[in-house]
Homo-oligomer: A and B are copies of this chain.
């Protein structure tokens, strides 16, 4: 019998937990299609979701190193989001999942 620790270490479970969630797959989808995106532009591309909820999702994704938040100094400063380099590497895997999920 597998113990809990080994289970928690399962990278697949961890990945799926991190990437799942109500809005995260769609955020990923947009970030794979634009190199970097401003918050307001991303928000406009989403179905009806509040700014508060979108921001929370982005913050969680930052914590899990799925995406990065970039601040460019200026008047006013501009904030962009983009994929973390490791997540870019995941591109082919996510494309396969996208394909597999269609019609399921």
Contacts and interface: CB of A to CB of B under 8 A. Distances in A.
Could you say which interface size class chain A belongs to? 35 or more
Contacts of A9: 102
A38 interface: no
* Copies of chain A in the complex: 2
A40 interface: no
- Considering residues A12, A24, A96, which has the most beta carbons from chain B within 10 angstroms of its beta carbon? A12
Contact of A100 (B7, B20, B90, B100): B90
Given A17-B20, A96-B93, A104-B18, A28 B2 contact: no
- Identify the 5 closest CB pairs spanning chains A and B, nearest first: A15-B101, A11-B101, A14-B101, A13-B25, A93-B93
